[in-house]
Every structure is written in C-alpha cells, then in structure tokens.
Amino acid sequence: MKIGVLALQGDFEAHERRLAELGAQPVAVRYARQLDAIDGLILPGGESTANLLLLKGEGLWEPLRRFAAEKPVLGTCAGAILLAREVAGPSQRSLGAMDFAIERNAYGRQIDSSIRRVEPERAFTERTRPGALEAVLIRAPIVRSVGPQVEVLIRDGKDPIMLEQGPRLAATFHAELTDDTRVHELFLAKVGRR
C-alpha cells in the first residue's frame, strides 16, 4: 500500500515513520504527478497559510482538490484546515472536501499548546481498540460546526477533534507525535477497503 504524505512543509517525516512502522510504503509527495501513484494521502500539520502558497506555487491545488474529493485522505491540524468546507480566524481558501467549519489557532498561541487525554467515541473504538488517546494540540484549530454527513470520532470535552466523512478523516491534533498508532491504523484500514 503506497500512502503519500504531502511533503512541502510541516512534520511530514513523523507521518512517514509511522506509516513505515505499520507496514505501508510512505511516499513524500511534492509534485502533482505523484498523486496518480498513491492509494491515500496524509496532509500533515504545519502552517496552513504557508501550505496554500506552496500548493499554488507547485501547481498542486487542483490535482489535490480532485484527489481529496475521491480518495482516502487524512488531514492533521493544518491538514484538517485544508479539508474543511469553511475556514475562519482569518478566512482562507480550503479544499472543501469535508462538511465542517473550522477556526484557525483557536486555542491560542504556541505557548497555549497542550497534550490532553481524551476518550474516543464508540465509532472510533469499534474499529480500532478501546482506551484513552493522547491528543497533541499545537496552535490547534477548533471545529465550529459539523454537517450532517460528518461523524465525530473523538471529542475534547464538547469540541470535536477528529471527524470522518466517507474516505476522509480530519484531526485537529497531531496523531503522529505520540506512540498511539490508532489514527493511522484507522486511515490505513479505510485505504485498504477501496
């Protein structure tokens, strides 16, 4: 299974290591032509405004939008922002691949980043395994509204922090920065079902 990781900026290498640990073949995606050779794609955390500039500069925007509309994609933190239907704080362009609205940096500045233990919803643990999960929130966005076709898989209190819609997953936290592999396992299972 070949899984692309958008490798323009952000912590893409941590996702690549996790994928390799789980037996998938990671592919560092930097060019549109690489999208044809992968089974799924991870949009890593980083800085969403920088991502937009790099995607446009590399001619990746439209090919990525088409890929995200049809194939399995996991977006973490800034990657989740890219997948959203609507972005605020400030407003910015997004792929619109999932029906949710998100606010950038809503937890505050870098100093307000945190690691929280959260209990996943049943829809998550039924397909992975039970138990609390560590959520690394670094200048994290907050999901403000969720459309009817989106399922919430994990919450931090009342705030959704992991969502699912069709073959796509969005997490406002950095799943690649802990030893818990369940988010990546769930994504690989979605890729494998296609």
Return the pLDDT at 108.
62
The answer on pLDDT for 53 being more than 70 is yes
The answer on pLDDT for 52 being more than 90 is no
User: Mapping DSSP to helix (H, G, I), strand (E, B) and coil, where does residue 128 land?
Assistant: coil
Three-state SS string over 42-68 comes to EECCCCHHHHHHHHHHCCCHHHHHHHH
Q: What's the average model confidence in pLDDT over 35-49?
A: 92
Return the pLDDT at 101.
98
Q: What percentage of the chain reaches a pLDDT higher than 90?
A: 82
Q: What is the CATH number of the domain that holds 90?
A: 3.40.50.880
The answer on pLDDT for 154 being more than 70 is yes
Return the pLDDT at 123.
96
Supply 193's token pair.
Answer: 């079902």
Which of these, 81, 154, 94, lies nearest to 124 by C-alpha position?
154
Return the pLDDT at 48.
78
Q: What is the pLDDT of residues 57-94, one digit of tens each?
A: 889 999 999 999 999 999 999 999 999 999 998 899 99
The answer on pLDDT for 109 being more than 80 is no
Return the pLDDT at 139.
79
- Burial letters 25-47, b for 16+ CB under 10 A, else e: ebbebeebebbeebbbbbbbbbb
Q: What's the average model confidence in pLDDT over 47-58?
A: 86
The answer on pLDDT for 110 being more than 80 is no
Please list the active-site residues.
77, 174, 176
The answer on pLDDT for 113 being more than 80 is no
User: Between 178 and 11, whose confidence is greater?
Assistant: 178
Return the pLDDT at 49.
80
Mean of all residue pLDDT scores within the chain: 93
The model's pTM is 0.95
Give me the number of domains the chain comprises: 1
Return the pLDDT at 136.
92
Structural domain of residue 114, as residue ranges? 2-192
Return the pLDDT at 111.
58
Distance CA 175, CA 24 (A): 16
